[in-house]
A and B are shown apart, each in its own frame.
Chain A
Amino acid sequence: MSGALRSLDARAEASRRAAGWRALALAAAAAALYLGPALLGGRVLSACVVLAIFAVMAYGLDLVLSDLGEVSLAHTVFFAAGAYAASMLATRAGWGGWATLLGALAAAALIAAFLGLITLRLREFVFSLVTYAAAVVAAAIAHNWEFLGGSDGIVGVPPLDLSVGPLRFAAGNDAELWPVAFALLLATLWLVARFRRSRLGTLAVMSHLNPRLATMSGVDVGRVRLAVLVLSAPVTGAAGWLYAYQRAYVGPDLFETYFLVLMLTAVVIIGRRLLFGPLLGTALILGQERFLSFGGDVDAIVLGGALIVVLAFFPGGLVGLWRAVMARAS
């Protein structure tokens, strides 16, 4: 009896120690990932800032696509909403970085809530249809509405000022933005991991895999979908917020399907519901575009083609393909 207790104790101790090591290893990996681009600088650093931003953008869609199993085509709108809110509040109201961040999150969440409410009772493709329509219409509005800068967009976004009290911090170039982008990425990863362990995350997967069973277990599937959508939008919106500062310009080109196809590809190419999937997926895509580009039109064909090939032939993504190959080899 006491022997069994002692071994239990030892096991708990071992798992505590393992968790400690894991945390340490993660911290070391994070530090290396942060310092690498910072030391290399130049093109690599710029690419990494954009990579972090686009990965965060993709994580917003990841929650809806991988966990909820719905296709939202409105995440470009949330992205653009974050960027427009940030740039407008910064240029016209002179708000600082923290305030514009709140504005960006709120703008994305509000639009998501609106879309979620009108599609609350709709099933299957009608949700996707409405989100796609919303993206097209939002682009048309951004092109035409003077308040949003029309087709010229909003220029002259000031450097990102994240000062807190006496601590001064302003980021005006990629080197200075890198810590912010990296922190945003870490925060997003933490949020996604937490979401997957949360009650809402469990309900989302339940509603996805067996909506009937979920309904019979007393889960309001429509409400879960609304909640996940409204949670996911600010994630993508936050990416838009930082993108506004990184580009110093915001325009209707943010509604391009490029961003949508990029997000979708990033989410599915590595494998769904993998914490680092969208990050690695975004890295693959941006790596190709920045360092192995064949010109914009061919890149579009490559990106769209990758999306088609993965979904049609390797539904488990590259990880699924790797596992299948290994299973055959053994």
Chain B
Amino acid sequence: MNLLQQIVNGVILGHAYALIAIGWTVLLGVARLVNFGHGQMYMLGAFVTWWAFARLGLPYPAAILVAIGGGIAVGLAVQAVMMRLTLEQNLVSIMIITLGFGHVLRGAAALVFGAQPQVLETPPSLIDLEIAGAWVTAQDLLIVAVAIVVFALLRLVVEGGRVGRTARMVAEDPKLAELAGIDVRRVYLGVFAFEGAAVALAAALVAPRTPILTAIGFEEVIVTFVVVVLGGIGSVTGSYLAGLGLGLFNALFGGFVSPAYTTAASFAVLTAVLVLRPGGLATRGGGR
């Protein structure tokens, strides 16, 4: 394994991680919500893309849109069920409910898509390219490009403009936001719809790299945790950098130490961060 190849892999992986985590980042930053069904929503996004692409025969971009639509629908459904708990900020029940949703999604996906592993052979994943001695696929480049676009757009939205302002007001004090004329319920629904759309988009782009099973999604959750905690909870720019950092770390660890234990290594990183700077977690930007 050469170092350059691993670094290139790490950069690609990092963008994939950042993209997988971005929905959670916004969810946490704006609505102070967590979603333990995140991994299963990723799994569902991957399967819906596969189904629309391989079974319905839609072109890949259309299949991505179908997956995003499905992700939005699931996100809205989850938030609608939890609305009362969200307004009460009953985090304990919310966490358990999202876990329950994850379980339901997994059961439903197994029922609909079967227990067979599937491979999502998208057109760009079949194109191999050589960049300065390192091999990548067009799919990899697509992931990097989309991640950069999504993060740039999000940053633009959060920094200026009405939507970002509204999000930051709700993030800071939802009750006060009501007095500013903001329909907080709609913001919460919107945020969860974004979470669903973002994780489905990530799945549609990243899942072609590996076989998909209804049991996947757990590693993605760990990655998301680490990115969110490392990047500073709710921070868009922080998430991007944290995703990139974790991607490089995992690629190097997987390439030179042990590919089987990368998840464990990520957890070690998470633990180290938590133990070394627990105070850093208190900072909660309103989405910046």
Direct contact of A and B (CB under 8 A): yes
In whole angstroms, how far apart are the Cα atoms of A258 and B36 in the complex?
14
Contacts of A280 in B (CB 8 A): none
Residue of A nearest to B82 (CB): A312
Residues from chain B with a CB closer than 8 A to the CB of A258 are: 103
Chain B residues closer than 8 Å to A311, beta-carbon distance? 85, 93, 96-97, 100
- Are the CB atoms of B222 and A136 closer together than 8 Å? yes
Query: In terms of DSSP, what is the predominant structure of the interface of chain B?
Result: helix
**Complex Cα gap A275–B58 (Å):** 55
Contacts A73-B36, A311-B93, A312-B85 given; indicate if A303 touches B111 (C-beta within 8 A): no
Interface residues of B in 197-225 (CB under 8 A from A): 218-219, 221-222, 225
Interface string of B265-276 (1 = CB under 8 A from A): 001001100110
B156 at interface, CB cutoff 8 A: no
Is B281 among interface residues, defined by CB-CB distance under 8 A? yes
Secondary structure of the A side of the interface?
helix
Distance in angstroms from B165 CB to nearest chain A CB is 25
Tier of interface size on chain A:
35 or more
| B96/A264 in contact, CB under 8 A | yes
Contacts of A315 in B (CB 8 A): 93
**A139-B218 in contact given A118-B274, A298-B111, A299-B107 (Cβ < 8 Å):** yes
**Structural contact, B111 and A297, CB atoms closer than 8 A:** yes
Output the least CB separation between B108 and chain A (Å). Answer: 6
Contacts of B281 in A (CB 8 A): 122, 126
Task: List CB contacts (< 8 Å) of A106-148 with chain B.
Answer: 118-119, 121-122, 124-126, 128-130, 132-134, 136-137, 139-141, 143-144
Nearest residue, chain A, Cβ from B112: A297
Instruction: Enumerate chain B residues within 8 angstroms of A136, measured Cβ to Cβ.
Output: 218-219, 221-222, 263, 267
A183 interfacial contact with B, CB 8 Å: no
Task: Check: A304 CB closer than 8 A to any chain B CB.
Answer: yes
- Judge whether A257 and B96 touch: CB under 8 Å: no
Q: Which of B96, B263, B274 meets A130, CB within 8 Å?
A: B274
Could you show 28 A-B contacts with beta carbons less than 8 Å apart?
A73-B36, A118-B271, A125-B95, A126-B274, A128-B34, A128-B36, A130-B270, A130-B274, A132-B36, A133-B221, A133-B270, A136-B267, A139-B218, A140-B219, A140-B263, A140-B264, A141-B264, A261-B99, A264-B99, A298-B107, A301-B104, A301-B108, A304-B101, A304-B104, A307-B96, A307-B99, A308-B97, A308-B104
Residues of A within 8 A of B (CB): 65, 69-71, 73, 118-119, 121-122, 124-126, 128-130, 132-134, 136-137, 139-141, 143-144, 257-258, 260-261, 264-265, 268, 296-301, 303-305, 307-308, 311-312, 315
Q: Footprint of A on B, CB under 8 Å?
A: 34, 36, 81-82, 84-85, 91-93, 95-97, 99-104, 106-108, 110-111, 218-219, 221-222, 225, 229, 260-261, 263-264, 267, 270-271, 274-275, 278, 281
Given A126-B274, A140-B261, A307-B96, 12 additional A-B pairs, CB 8 A: A69-B92, A73-B36, A118-B274, A122-B278, A126-B229, A130-B274, A265-B100, A298-B107, A300-B110, A308-B100, A311-B93, A312-B82
